[in-house]
Amino acid sequence: MGKLVIISGPSGSGKTTVCKLLTKDPHIKKSISVTTRLPRDSEKNGEAYYFVSKHEFEEMIQRGELAEHAEYCEHSYGTPMKALKEALVKEGFYLLEIEVQGALQIMEKLPETISIFLLPPDKKTLGQRLIQRNANREEDMENRLKIADKEMEYKDRYNYCVVNDDLAATVSTIRKILNLA
Ligand code: 5GP
Protein backbone atom coordinates (compact mmCIF):
# COMPACT_ATOMS: atom_id res chain seq x y z
CA MET A 1 0.00 0.00 0.00
CA GLY A 2 1.19 3.51 -0.81
CA LYS A 3 1.51 6.10 1.92
CA LEU A 4 0.10 9.58 1.65
CA VAL A 5 2.28 12.49 2.81
CA ILE A 6 1.00 16.05 3.14
CA ILE A 7 3.51 18.89 2.93
CA SER A 8 2.02 22.24 3.93
CA GLY A 9 3.51 25.54 4.96
CA PRO A 10 3.17 29.21 4.08
CA SER A 11 3.95 30.46 0.60
CA GLY A 12 7.72 31.03 0.60
CA SER A 13 8.49 28.26 3.10
CA GLY A 14 10.17 26.32 0.29
CA LYS A 15 7.63 23.50 -0.16
CA THR A 16 7.99 23.24 -3.93
CA THR A 17 11.80 23.04 -3.85
CA VAL A 18 11.73 20.51 -1.01
CA CYS A 19 9.18 18.37 -2.88
CA LYS A 20 11.27 18.55 -6.08
CA LEU A 21 14.30 17.22 -4.21
CA LEU A 22 12.26 14.54 -2.43
CA THR A 23 10.87 13.22 -5.73
CA LYS A 24 14.38 12.47 -6.99
CA ASP A 25 13.87 9.28 -5.01
CA PRO A 26 11.91 6.83 -7.20
CA HIS A 27 9.92 5.76 -4.11
CA ILE A 28 8.39 9.23 -3.85
CA LYS A 29 5.87 10.62 -6.34
CA LYS A 30 4.03 13.93 -6.17
CA SER A 31 0.40 14.65 -6.91
CA ILE A 32 -0.25 17.22 -9.65
CA SER A 33 -2.97 19.59 -8.49
CA VAL A 34 -5.62 21.34 -10.49
CA THR A 35 -5.78 25.13 -10.20
CA THR A 36 -7.66 28.08 -11.65
CA ARG A 37 -4.70 30.45 -11.20
CA LEU A 38 -2.64 31.44 -14.25
CA PRO A 39 0.68 29.69 -14.87
CA ARG A 40 3.88 31.48 -13.86
CA ASP A 41 6.52 31.84 -16.61
CA SER A 42 8.31 28.58 -15.94
CA GLU A 43 5.21 26.49 -15.22
CA LYS A 44 3.98 23.99 -17.78
CA ASN A 45 0.48 22.53 -17.85
CA GLY A 46 0.52 18.96 -16.53
CA GLU A 47 3.85 19.46 -14.74
CA ALA A 48 3.48 22.16 -12.08
CA TYR A 49 -0.32 22.01 -12.19
CA TYR A 50 -3.23 21.26 -14.47
CA PHE A 51 -4.42 24.77 -15.26
CA VAL A 52 -8.19 24.91 -15.73
CA SER A 53 -10.97 27.50 -15.92
CA LYS A 54 -13.31 28.23 -12.97
CA HIS A 55 -16.04 26.44 -14.89
CA GLU A 56 -13.93 23.32 -15.46
CA PHE A 57 -12.94 23.32 -11.78
CA GLU A 58 -16.59 23.52 -10.68
CA GLU A 59 -17.43 20.63 -13.00
CA MET A 60 -14.66 18.53 -11.49
CA ILE A 61 -16.12 19.16 -8.01
CA GLN A 62 -19.61 18.21 -9.23
CA ARG A 63 -18.32 14.98 -10.74
CA GLY A 64 -16.52 14.11 -7.47
CA GLU A 65 -13.12 14.16 -9.15
CA LEU A 66 -11.31 16.06 -6.39
CA ALA A 67 -10.17 14.44 -3.13
CA GLU A 68 -10.06 17.90 -1.51
CA HIS A 69 -10.20 21.47 -2.70
CA ALA A 70 -9.77 24.96 -1.28
CA GLU A 71 -9.64 28.63 -2.15
CA TYR A 72 -6.32 30.45 -1.84
CA CYS A 73 -5.71 34.08 -2.90
CA GLU A 74 -8.95 34.13 -4.90
CA HIS A 75 -8.10 30.98 -6.85
CA SER A 76 -9.17 27.38 -6.48
CA TYR A 77 -6.82 24.46 -5.95
CA GLY A 78 -7.64 20.77 -5.74
CA THR A 79 -6.17 17.26 -5.64
CA PRO A 80 -7.29 14.88 -8.40
CA MET A 81 -8.91 11.80 -6.86
CA LYS A 82 -8.10 9.26 -9.59
CA ALA A 83 -4.29 9.63 -9.42
CA LEU A 84 -4.42 9.61 -5.63
CA LYS A 85 -6.38 6.34 -5.54
CA GLU A 86 -4.02 4.78 -8.06
CA ALA A 87 -0.99 5.85 -5.99
CA LEU A 88 -2.43 4.34 -2.84
CA VAL A 89 -2.59 0.84 -4.30
CA LYS A 90 1.09 0.99 -5.27
CA GLU A 91 4.16 0.90 -3.04
CA GLY A 92 5.90 4.14 -2.09
CA PHE A 93 5.01 7.63 -0.95
CA TYR A 94 2.61 10.07 -2.59
CA LEU A 95 3.20 13.74 -1.76
CA LEU A 96 0.42 16.28 -1.56
CA GLU A 97 1.85 19.79 -1.51
CA ILE A 98 -1.28 21.57 -0.38
CA GLU A 99 -2.45 24.44 1.84
CA VAL A 100 -3.95 24.05 5.29
CA GLN A 101 -7.70 23.85 4.54
CA GLY A 102 -7.23 21.06 2.01
CA ALA A 103 -4.79 19.32 4.34
CA LEU A 104 -7.39 19.24 7.12
CA GLN A 105 -9.93 17.66 4.73
CA ILE A 106 -7.47 14.88 3.84
CA MET A 107 -6.43 14.32 7.49
CA GLU A 108 -10.09 13.82 8.39
CA LYS A 109 -10.84 11.44 5.49
CA LEU A 110 -7.54 9.54 5.69
CA PRO A 111 -6.22 9.81 9.27
CA GLU A 112 -3.24 7.54 8.55
CA THR A 113 -1.77 10.29 6.32
CA ILE A 114 1.65 11.56 7.42
CA SER A 115 1.40 15.33 7.71
CA ILE A 116 4.38 17.70 7.71
CA PHE A 117 4.28 21.47 8.19
CA LEU A 118 7.24 23.35 6.75
CA LEU A 119 8.21 26.50 8.62
CA PRO A 120 10.34 29.35 7.32
CA PRO A 121 13.28 30.22 9.64
CA ASP A 122 11.58 33.57 10.37
CA LYS A 123 9.07 36.01 8.92
CA LYS A 124 11.72 38.25 7.35
CA THR A 125 13.09 35.30 5.36
CA LEU A 126 9.57 34.47 4.22
CA GLY A 127 9.07 38.01 2.87
CA GLN A 128 12.47 37.94 1.16
CA ARG A 129 11.75 34.60 -0.50
CA LEU A 130 8.46 35.92 -1.85
CA ILE A 131 10.19 39.03 -3.23
CA GLN A 132 12.96 36.93 -4.80
CA ARG A 133 10.40 34.74 -6.50
CA ASN A 134 9.06 37.96 -7.97
CA ALA A 135 6.31 36.06 -9.73
CA ASN A 136 3.44 37.35 -7.65
CA ARG A 137 2.00 40.81 -7.98
CA GLU A 138 2.67 43.04 -4.96
CA GLU A 139 -0.93 42.85 -3.83
CA ASP A 140 -0.83 39.07 -4.13
CA MET A 141 2.37 39.00 -2.09
CA GLU A 142 0.79 40.97 0.76
CA ASN A 143 -2.16 38.60 0.67
CA ARG A 144 0.18 35.59 0.85
CA LEU A 145 1.95 37.06 3.88
CA LYS A 146 -1.39 37.58 5.64
CA ILE A 147 -2.45 34.00 4.83
CA ALA A 148 0.94 32.80 6.15
CA ASP A 149 0.09 34.14 9.62
CA LYS A 150 -3.24 32.28 9.58
CA GLU A 151 -1.69 29.07 8.27
CA MET A 152 0.91 29.08 11.06
CA GLU A 153 -1.94 28.81 13.58
CA TYR A 154 -2.66 25.31 12.24
CA LYS A 155 0.86 23.93 12.49
CA ASP A 156 0.06 21.91 15.64
CA ARG A 157 -2.54 19.91 13.71
CA TYR A 158 0.30 18.30 11.75
CA ASN A 159 2.28 15.22 12.80
CA TYR A 160 5.61 17.02 12.25
CA CYS A 161 6.89 20.60 11.95
CA VAL A 162 10.19 21.08 10.14
CA VAL A 163 12.03 24.42 9.98
CA ASN A 164 13.34 24.88 6.46
CA ASP A 165 16.54 26.74 7.20
CA ASP A 166 18.92 24.56 5.22
CA LEU A 167 17.46 22.76 2.20
CA ALA A 168 19.62 19.62 2.39
CA ALA A 169 18.96 19.27 6.13
CA THR A 170 15.20 19.66 5.58
CA VAL A 171 15.14 16.97 2.88
CA SER A 172 17.18 14.67 5.08
CA THR A 173 14.84 15.24 8.07
CA ILE A 174 11.79 14.44 5.95
CA ARG A 175 13.47 11.30 4.57
CA LYS A 176 14.10 10.21 8.17
CA ILE A 177 10.44 10.82 9.02
CA LEU A 178 9.52 8.55 6.10
CA ASN A 179 12.06 5.95 7.23
CA LEU A 180 13.98 6.35 3.99
CA ALA A 181 17.26 7.54 5.50
P1 5GP B 1 0.87 28.57 -5.51
O2 5GP B 1 -0.08 29.54 -6.14
O3 5GP B 1 1.98 29.28 -4.76
O4 5GP B 1 1.40 27.53 -6.47
O5 5GP B 1 0.05 27.75 -4.42
C6 5GP B 1 -0.70 28.43 -3.44
C7 5GP B 1 -1.03 27.47 -2.29
O8 5GP B 1 -1.91 26.46 -2.76
C9 5GP B 1 0.19 26.76 -1.74
O10 5GP B 1 0.10 26.74 -0.33
C11 5GP B 1 0.07 25.36 -2.31
O12 5GP B 1 0.67 24.39 -1.49
C13 5GP B 1 -1.43 25.21 -2.32
N14 5GP B 1 -1.92 24.13 -3.20
C15 5GP B 1 -1.37 23.66 -4.34
N16 5GP B 1 -2.10 22.66 -4.83
C17 5GP B 1 -3.12 22.46 -3.97
C18 5GP B 1 -4.22 21.55 -3.92
O19 5GP B 1 -4.40 20.68 -4.76
N20 5GP B 1 -5.07 21.67 -2.88
C21 5GP B 1 -4.92 22.62 -1.91
N22 5GP B 1 -5.81 22.63 -0.92
N23 5GP B 1 -3.91 23.49 -1.92
C24 5GP B 1 -3.02 23.42 -2.94
Check residue 181 and give its pLDDT. Answer: 83
Q: How far apart are CA 107 and CA 110, in angstroms?
A: 5
Q: How far apart are CA 174 and CA 177, in angstroms?
A: 5
If one counts the domains in the chain, the total is 1
By residue range, what is the domain housing residue 130? 3-177
Check residue 135 and give its pLDDT. Answer: 60
Domain with residue 69: its CATH number is 3.40.50.300
Residue 99 alpha carbon to ligand 1 centre in Å: 5
Tell me the best of 99, 108, 155 to mutate to test the pocket of ligand 1, counting ligand atoms within 8 Å of each CB and taking the most. 99
Give the residue ranges of the chain where pLDDT is below 70. 134-137
Check residue 85 and give its pLDDT. Answer: 97
DSSP E strands in 41-179: the ranges are: 50-51, 66-72, 75-80, 93-97, 114-119, 160-163
Q: How far apart are CA 107 and CA 115, in angstroms?
A: 8
Q: Is the distance from the beta carbon of residue 117 to the nearest atom of ligand 1 less than 6 Å?
A: no
* 169 C-beta neighbours (distance < 10 Å), count: 12
Q: Is the distance from the beta carbon of residue 133 to the nearest atom of ligand 1 less than 6 Å?
A: no
